[in-house]
Each structure stands twice: as C-alpha cells, then as structure tokens.
Amino acid sequence: MKKLHLITLLSVIALIISFFFDKEINKFIFGLNPSFLKSFMLILDNWVTSVVLFLVIPSIILFRKRKKMVFLWITLVLGYLIATVLKVLIVRERPDLALIQEDSFSFPSRHAAVAFSVLPFMLEEKHYWIWILAILIGLSRLILGVHYLSDVIAGGLIGYYVGYSLLRLYKKEIPF
C-alpha cells in the first residue's frame, strides 16, 4: 500500500508540474519529429485497437472468472464516462499541433483512462505486459499531438483508480 501511495504522490506532482510546461513539452515532442513512430501510434490510437487490447484480450484472460470479468467491463465504462464528463466540465482545448482531428475537448485523456483502468485487474492476474500497452497509448496521444502531458497523466490516474476501486469492490464479494 505504501508503494501505491508513493506512486500516486509522484503522479499528482507530475500532473501539477506538467500543467506549467504542457505547451513546451508538446513542442519538444513535435520538434523530435518521430515520424517513424507516427504510423504505429495511429494504429494504437484507433478505438478498434483499444477495444481489442483493453476489452477483448482481458475478457479472454478473465473468461473463467466471469464475475471479475463483469467488474472489468464496468471499470472500462466508468473510466470512459468519468473522463467524458470531466472533458465537458473542464472544456480544455486541444493542442494546436494535432496530426488527427478530434471532436471532443482535451482534458483528461479518455484513451489513457480506458487503458489504465484495466491495469489493476491484469496486474493481479500477473499480466504485466499491460503496463507497456497503457504507457504506449499515453505516448501515442502525445506524439499525435492531440493531448497535453497533463491530459494523459490525469486520464491515467482516473482510469487506474477507477480500476483499483472496482477491483477492491470485487474482492469484497459484494453481490449485484
């Protein structure tokens, strides 16, 4: 638990600091012009890819634990909904450097919220590869220029804690 508190503290500090340097960070990333990564990031950015990586594969892994699988689905929906409501309430414009067109506001990143919401469930199942995918999703949002770093960190925190909370609720065996 102490490790989780430390990670949370560091993430919140990173979030606060990133608010001050968001535009500079985006300009720096665009200045690197990682064009060889952009095609890969466009594939990762696709919602179909996200559904496969964060819904289908985890559901297959948890198929024999159906109640846990249902909690995972609820986690994904809640992470998505919370991020969506916050987007509407906060109304932060997206960066000017976007390579793709997005129709919603920037803060927080729904992609990051969805990707990180699965982490607690998959980590408990010893599927550590999910960390890499969640981080790649966050990076894709930065490299494609559709989010600021603070958007991605906030989305990741929201998603992770929605997942963590629902996993704890699941472990208490509270009936529907």
Mutual orientation of helices 2-32 and 129-143 as an angle, nearest 10°? 40
**Cβ neighbours around 1 below 10 Å, total:** 5
The CA-based angle 71-77-82, given to 5 degrees, is 120
Q: How many CA within 13 A on the CB side of residue 166?
A: 26
Tokens 């990173």 belong to: 14
147 noted as active-site residue:
yes
Catalytic residue chosen out of the listed positions 79, 111, 142, 158 = 111
Catalytic residue chosen out of the listed positions 147, 148, 157, 159 = 147
Mutual orientation of helices 149-171 and 110-117 as an angle, nearest 10°? 30
Mutual orientation of helices 149-171 and 129-143 as an angle, nearest 10°? 150
Mutual orientation of helices 66-90 and 149-171 as an angle, nearest 10°? 150
- Residues annotated catalytic, as ranges: 111, 147
